[in-house]
Amino acid sequence: MLKKVRSKVPAWLMCVALVQLALTGWFIKSLGTVDKDSIEDLSQPEVKIIVHGIETPQSYGKDDSPTFVTTLEEYIKFPLERGILENKESLEWLKPYPENAKVVFSIVIAAYNQADFLQETLNSILAQSYAQWEVIIVDDGSTDTTWEVAQRFLMEHSDKRVRIMRKENGGLSDSRNFGMRYARGNWLCMLDSDDLLGKDYLLKTSELAALGADIVVGCMENFDAVSSTWCFPEGWSVVGVSHWNKFHASVLMSSHLVKSIGGYDQSLLWGLEDWNFWLSVSRHRPRVMHIPEITFYYRHHKGTSMRKEMFRVALEESKAMVRTNHPDLYEPHQLALDHHTIGHMTAQSLERLDKKLAAFPSLVRPHFWKGLYLKAQQKYKEALEEFLKAVQLLDKSELPEEVIDWQPHYQLALTHELLGEYVEALKAIDTAFLRGYSDEILACKYRLQKHLEAEGFQSQMLQVTSLPSYWDSLHINRNAEVDKIKKGTLAGKLNDYAEMQSSQKAIHETYLAAKTMLKLAPKTKCAERVRMRSANAVKNGHFEEDAASTWFSFESGYTIKSIPPRTGTVSLSGKSLFLENADASKSSGAVQLVRLHQKEASPVLIMGWSKAINMSGSKDSGYSLYIDITFIDGTHEWSFALPFDPKRPDWQLQYAMLERPKPIHELQVYCMLRGHEGTAVFDDVVVAPMLDVACRCGDEEVYRPSKDGECEACPGGSMCVFGFPLHDSADNV
């Protein structure tokens, strides 16, 4: 039958009919009909639930639906480890931007337990004088009502381009990366969920974008717990940003920068992701322009925060971790110093690192940093496993800074060398040599080459045949000449500068102490004070009595043991306080409440002796005489510390004059060992009002309680006034 019909209809007529049918269909579709029900439906936000992957809008005709807009999904190189639980969007999200919208802003808000502040942040977006923006809210697994606030905003502002998503908790960087995967704008803003945008920030940035800007920054106003205005006076430079962060996260930037660097690194333990991001950006020589007015409002919260905690316990290791992310921006000598700093990380950082490894097992850096820690603990087999994981992941990485990274291969070689595995070590150092050069890499390669020559093994790589004249023939590159060369590097000069700053601080403290002594002189009424038995307000500060009635346990507690007494100790029995941690995740200590009941502000001498035995880590408040202060008005000052050096094998003395503008009611005094593995011995802990000390000691004497009395001859190199030395800051026996 079909053949019969075809035989009666000419082919050309069939073609005409088909074309006419297609044109008619297109015409009907272009007219479109919308009934009342469908109009009402448009007012409701379209809601989608997505568990895996990212939904891409369909491509529609310009006449009735949005055209396809490319997202940043393919440019985000960091892994998707934490899954999306819910993902919703307004119908307006799918509509096209006007053809004259040359600049479109994607504002990504990462929120974790910010229900109290999120609406105010969103209001600052609604108030913008520039209309071409979209907002992406990422709830990072909040346990408060943040998600409800986001949903309410979506429902109430269905006429805006809004997408909200709720995901498993993964941290700030992870949330920003998730949000950017949906971003379609050619400009980006990473807005924290408690900060605010100035109403003209987007508008004025769109004008500067037309002039070729890649980054636009304005003045920032700090508010809430802090009130100040900041206009980034140092400006922008690659050298400047290599030293410290220059901008807050919400500085507006062209999306091509994110396309170039791959997103935010989820590895970092304490934050500093903004500094890390701008360091990556610096490789691309962005053009930075400034708006000379307040464009951004940064909220400071009262109380503690992760940033404040980082500055207190882990600033240097956090900075070191950021620098190791950028091996092409820092000198190898600086990175070697950073490897040492990371290897001696605090217990708090180690705990965060283990959580990071569990959450993001495919990231290179956490494995590398854990390897550095284990190597510093002389756990070479375990360190080797972590370095091997880092190397395997590094070989698969697409991040520009990781493709050229020599550090994991170099540390892998050193660890193989320590284990006597010279063939494997040489292979690792050859790979490091392909990615980066330094005197340390060359020296390691030469050492391994010499080890294996006798066994007839030769590297396939270039042989070290020309030795630098500055090497020592016995110790290869470890000698005074090499040290001099390293001191001449930028890293060496910065290290010298840090040491000079420390010396200047000590000089300044001596000056302040001298001023205090001059003010103290008229107040000394020694006839009344010398009748007191002792100036020391600490009970059993020498530990010769029963400690349980005077010192209370902190965390794992303490023990009292006999030890050969140091010269000059007041202890007749040779007993001292012992704190012992089996590993760096443990804490132990002894605590005593010392009541001073000052009626007016007056300086107090804080002093104590300690000795470290087989202790890990570097000098910090984790191994210290640690004090919390309560003032007479009920306010507090936390974390005053006199740190001891865990690498010093002998007895060491630390002391300071505690002078505050308000009268002190009481001091909570801790003998502290936290974040260090090993044993700390404490003895002769002193808290003494300086007015009492001044009446105990004569000219050129220093207050050092011992079995022979309370004062000793002033140590050499010091000038002692009222029992206090004004030159040295610490003394050792």
Residue-wise DSSP of 226-269? --EEE--TT---HHHHHHS--S-TT-EEEHHHHHHH-S--S--S
Higher pLDDT, 312 or 559: 559
In angstroms, the CA 687 to CA 664 distance is: 12
Fold of 306-492: 1.25.40
Higher pLDDT, 45 or 387: 387
Residues in the chain: 733
Mean pLDDT of 86-115: 91
Which band of pLDDT confidence, cut at 50, 70 and 90, is reported for residue 35? very low
**Confidence at residue 248, expressed as pLDDT on a 0 to 100 scale:** 81
Residue 731 has pLDDT above 80, yes or no: no
Tokens for 174, please give them: 């992870």
- Residue 489 burial (10 A CB sphere; 0-12, 13-18, 19+): middle
Mean pLDDT of 3-10: 42
Sign of the dihedral through C-alpha 494, 498, 500, 501: positive
The position carrying tokens 């108030």 is 127
Residue 185 has pLDDT above 90, yes or no: yes
Tens of pLDDT along 204-222?
999 999 999 999 999 999 9
How many angstroms separate the Cα of 26 from the Cα of each of 13, 15, 21, 30, 300? 20, 17, 9, 6, 58
- The half-sphere exposure of 341 on its side-chain side, counting CA atoms within 13 A, is 19
Torsion of CA 448, 451, 452, 458, to 10 degrees: 40
**Confidence at residue 546, expressed as pLDDT on a 0 to 100 scale:** 82
**Confidence at residue 115, expressed as pLDDT on a 0 to 100 scale:** 95
Residue 452 has pLDDT above 50, yes or no: yes
In angstroms, the CA 421 to CA 448 distance is: 10
Higher pLDDT, 80 or 449: 449
What residues pair up with 270 in beta bridges, in sequence order? none
In this structure, of 97-106, 467-476, 543-552, the range with the lowest mean pLDDT score is 467-476
**Confidence at residue 101, expressed as pLDDT on a 0 to 100 scale:** 80
**Confidence at residue 422, expressed as pLDDT on a 0 to 100 scale:** 94
529-732: what CATH class? mainly beta
Going by C-beta distance under 8 Å and a sequence separation of 6 or more, which residues neighbour residue 175? 110, 111, 112, 138, 140, 167
**Confidence at residue 649, expressed as pLDDT on a 0 to 100 scale:** 84
* Residue 528 DSSP code: H
Mean pLDDT of 51-61: 36
**Confidence at residue 33, expressed as pLDDT on a 0 to 100 scale:** 41
Interhelix angle 422-435/407-418, nearest 10 degrees: 160
Which band of pLDDT confidence, cut at 50, 70 and 90, is reported for residue 699? confident
Residue 314 has pLDDT above 60, yes or no: yes
How many angstroms separate the Cα of 655 from the Cα of each of 335, 372, 576, 609? 33, 33, 18, 9
Helix ranges (H only) for 454-590 are 480-487, 490-520, 526-529
Mean pLDDT of 52-73: 46
**Confidence at residue 167, expressed as pLDDT on a 0 to 100 scale:** 94
**Confidence at residue 46, expressed as pLDDT on a 0 to 100 scale:** 42
- On whether the CB atoms of residues 493 and 487 are closer than 8 A, the answer is yes
Residue 138 has pLDDT above 90, yes or no: yes
Model pTM score: 0.68
Mean pLDDT of 371-397: 95
Tens of pLDDT along 216-249?
999 999 998 888 998 988 888 888 899 888 888 7
In this structure, of 89-93, 283-287, 532-536, the range with the lowest mean pLDDT score is 532-536
**Confidence at residue 313, expressed as pLDDT on a 0 to 100 scale:** 67
- On whether the CB atoms of residues 697 and 703 are closer than 8 A, the answer is yes
Q: Tell me what percent of the residues of the chain surpass a pLDDT of 90.
A: 52
Backbone dihedral angles phi then psi of residue 624, each to the nearest 5 degrees? -165, 170
In angstroms, the CA 594 to CA 432 distance is: 56
Residue 42 has pLDDT above 50, yes or no: no
- What average pLDDT is seen over the chain? 83
Domain boundaries, the chain: 47-300, 306-492, 529-732
Residue 691 has pLDDT above 50, yes or no: yes
Q: Tell me what percent of the residues of the chain surpass a pLDDT of 70.
A: 82
Residue 27 has pLDDT above 60, yes or no: no
Residue 202 has pLDDT above 80, yes or no: yes
Residue 399 has pLDDT above 90, yes or no: no
Q: Is 335 helix (H, G, I), strand (E, B) or coil?
A: helix
Higher pLDDT, 458 or 284: 284
How many angstroms separate the Cα of 555 from the Cα of each of 550, 590, 667? 16, 9, 19
**Confidence at residue 51, expressed as pLDDT on a 0 to 100 scale:** 35
Tens of pLDDT along 541-564?
989 888 888 999 999 999 999 888
Residue 296 has pLDDT above 90, yes or no: yes
Residue 11 has pLDDT above 70, yes or no: no
In this structure, of 376-385, 535-544, 685-694, 698-707, the range with the lowest mean pLDDT score is 698-707
**Confidence at residue 215, expressed as pLDDT on a 0 to 100 scale:** 96
Sign of the dihedral through C-alpha 264, 269, 271, 276: negative
Residue 520 has pLDDT above 70, yes or no: no
DSSP secondary structure string, 350-363? HHHHHHHHHH-TT-
For domain 47-300, say whether CATH 3.90.550.10 is its number: yes
In angstroms, the CA 180 to CA 106 distance is: 8
Tens of pLDDT along 259-281?
999 999 999 998 889 999 999 99
Residue 45 has pLDDT above 80, yes or no: no
In angstroms, the CA 597 to CA 325 distance is: 51
Mean pLDDT of 637-643: 91
